[in-house]
Structure 1
Amino acid sequence: MELEGIRILELPEDGPVVQDASSLLSLAFEHQADMMTIPAARLGESFFKLATGVAGELVQKFTTYRIRLTILGDISAQVANSNALRSFVYEANKGSQLWFLENREALVERLARGSQSPTSRS
């Protein structure tokens, strides 16, 4: 899919818990994606417990290869239980590399506003 000139690869809602960033990055490169969306349900609880390092590792790999990442879904329960996660989500949403959004419509709206549009990797 392409929105506002940004090629987006959407990971389907159904499927196994994401275990490895490398396979996701391979998919993103194969589809020449500028951004990947991952349903929050596909990340597993360890992603939302920042002390595990799972979130940091995944985000760092995407950042290194300049593929933007958007986590889609309701993470209010996880955020309510962790001040660290709440701060992480807040800071991420202020930037352009990683966003946590409620749904696809919120992504469409944010991109339509031109919110920190990325440079295309053509």
Structure 2
Amino acid sequence: MADTVQELSGVKVLVCDAAGPAITTVQDALDLIGATYVGAGIVAVAADRLDDKFFVLSTGFAGEVMQKFVNYHVRLAVIGDISRHLEASSALRSLVRESNAADHVWFLPDTEALAAHLAGRA
């Protein structure tokens, strides 16, 4: 399956193929942002595609990636189970909690939860 644009709760979302290439650099994130020019305002990417350094906040990688999405006015949804990362880091737990309450980056278990999240924001 390739990346596809889907409408979730009335919002166009670029749903990235879980089997797609790993996101290991800021340029990889920028490539996803560029792919939204087909009309999507949100990128939904499988957590498994993100390099583990994304979940180790001291690397700065998550901050760089998230800032790029904010700068380009594209929202990011990290989709999937990140429980092993959350267990390892109280800072990450805080980031996820704060991000999910805000408007640009969300961490959700699946696209159904993303659709519900978007419906609740409408």
Question: Identity, % of aligned pairs?
Answer: 41
Provide the rounded CA distance (Å) in 2 between the counterparts of 1:17 and 1:90. 24
Provide the rounded CA distance (Å) in 2 between the counterparts of 1:25 and 1:107. 18
TM-score calculated relative to the size of structure 1:
0.88
User: Superposition RMSD on alpha carbons, in Å?
Assistant: 1.1
1:74 to 74, 81, 84: 81
The residue aligned with 1:6 is: 11
Q: Which runs of 5+ in 2 are unaligned?
A: 1-5
- Specify the code of the residue in structure 2 equivalent to 1:72: I
Provide the rounded CA distance (Å) in 2 between the counterparts of 1:25 and 1:2. 17
- Specify the code of the residue in structure 1 equivalent to 2:78: I
Do structure 1's residue 57 and structure 2's residue 55 form an aligned pair? Answer: no
TM-score calculated relative to the size of structure 2:
0.88
Provide the rounded CA distance (Å) in 2 between the counterparts of 1:101 and 1:28. 20
The residue aligned with 2:32 is: 24
Range moving further from structure 2, 31-40 or 15-24: 15-24
- The alpha carbon displacement at 1:35 in A equals 0.4
The residue aligned with 2:3 is: none
1:107 to 80, 105, 114: 114
Provide the rounded CA distance (Å) in 1 between the counterparts of 2:111 and 2:7. 13
Provide the rounded CA distance (Å) in 1 between the counterparts of 2:49 and 2:93. 19
Task: Tell me how many residue pairs correspond in the alignment.
Answer: 114
Structure with greater helix share of residues: 2
The residue aligned with 1:120 is: none
Runs of 4+ with deviation above 3 angstroms:
none
Provide the rounded CA distance (Å) in 2 between the counterparts of 1:109 and 1:22. 26
Q: Secondary structure at the match of 2:103?
A: coil
Provide the rounded CA distance (Å) in 2 between the counterparts of 1:15 and 1:3. 21
